[in-house]
Amino acid sequence: MPLIQIQNLTKTFDLPGRKVEVLRDIDLDIKEGEYLLIFGPSGCGKTTLLNLILGLETPTSGKLKIKDVNTAKLTPQERTAFRYKNFSTVYQNSIWLKSLNVLENVALPLYLGGMSESEAKDKAKEALKLAHTAEFELSRPNELSSGEQQRVSLARAMVTDAQIIIADEPTGNLDSKAGHELMKTLDHLHNLGKTIILVTHNLSYLVHADTKIAMKDGQIIGRFTENALPHNIKEMLEEE
C-alpha cells in the first residue's frame, strides 16, 4: 500500500467575492522510501499540495490518506500530533527561536515531544554531526551563513527520525555549492530509508529523485522517472 495516497484531490480557497481553485483532480501515490521531486512555475499549487500532505490545510474534495489515515477527518490537534510523529520539514527560509542556540533549536522538536533536555540535546548533537554542522552547536542561528543555517535546518528535520521529510525549496537561497551540499545530505537520508518530497525550481536536481512530477495551474501535467525533463512536459510548461 502506498505511504501517501491522493485521489481526485481538489483545493479551493474562498476569497471575498470569488473562489480560487488552487488544486484540481490531483492523483498521486507516494511509496515508502520514495524520493519524489515536484516542480512547476510559481503559483501552480506545489506549496498548497505540501500543506495538504502536512495537514496544515484540508482538501475541499477528494481523498488524502497517509499511512492509511484520512488526515482530513482528524481534528486540528490530532493532525498536529500526526504531523509531529510522521513528518519533518525544511523550508526555503530557515526559522529559528532566536533566544535559543543552534543545539537547542535542533532539539526543539524533541522538547515539544516531551523528551528530557539532556536526552534531546544528545540526539540533537548526533543530528548536527550527520548534517556536518556540529561545530555550530553553541552559536546563535542568525550568526550562521544561509547554507549553514539550511544544514542546521536539515539536522532539525532529522532529529525526530520521522519517516517523511518535506523540503520546500530548501536550496532557494543558497549558492550552488551550499545547495549541492544540502542535496547530498538529502540523498543520504533517502539512502537511510526516508521518504523525501522535494519541491524545487532547480531542474538540475532531477537526478536526485526517483520520481518527478510537473505541475501547472493546479494540476499534475506529467510524471516521469528519467533524469532529464521530457520534451512534451517542457512544451506544456512553456505553453501560455
> In the complex, which residues of this chain contact other proteins (CB under 8 A)?
47, 51, 54, 56-57, 77, 80-81, 83-85, 89, 91-93, 95-100, 108-109, 111-114, 116-117, 168-169, 172
Name the DSSP letter for residue 62. E
Identify residue 82 by its one-letter amino acid code: F
CB 94 → other proteins: shortest distance, Å? 10
Nearer to other proteins, 158 or 233 (CB): 158
Q: How many CA atoms, within 13 angstroms, populate the side-chain half-sphere of residue 150?
A: 24
Nearer to other proteins, 114 or 193 (CB): 114
Q: Which is nearer to other proteins, 41 or 113 (CB)?
A: 113
Gyration radius from the chain CA atoms:
18
Nearer to other proteins, 47 or 195 (CB): 47
Query: CB of 114: closest distance to other proteins in angstroms?
Result: 6
- Is the CB of residue 52 less than 8 Å from the CB of residue 11? yes
Q: Are 3 and 12 in contact (CB under 8 A)?
A: no
Name the residue nearer to other proteins (CB basis): 91 or 224.
Answer: 91
| Closest to other proteins by CB, 17 or 114 | 114
Residue 118 CB, shortest distance to other proteins, in Å, is: 11
Max intra-chain CA distance, the chain: 56
Q: In what order do the strands lie in the sheet with 4-15?
A: 18-30, 4-15, 61-66, 69-70
201 is written with which cell numbers? 525550481
Residue 100 or 221 having the CB closest to other proteins: 100
We find the least distance from the C-beta atom of residue 95 to other proteins, in angstroms, to be 4
Q: CB of residue 210 vs other proteins: minimum separation in angstroms?
A: 25
* CA dist., res. 133 & res. 142, Å (int): 14
79 within 8 A of 129, measured Cβ to Cβ = no
CB 157 within 8 A of CB 84: no
**CA 55: distance to chain centroid?**
12
Minimum CB distance to other proteins, residue 79 (Å): 10
Write down the least CB distance from residue 226 to other proteins, Å: 29
Q: Which of 161, 229, 193 is nearest to 35 (CA)?
A: 193
Site of grid cell 522510501 = 33
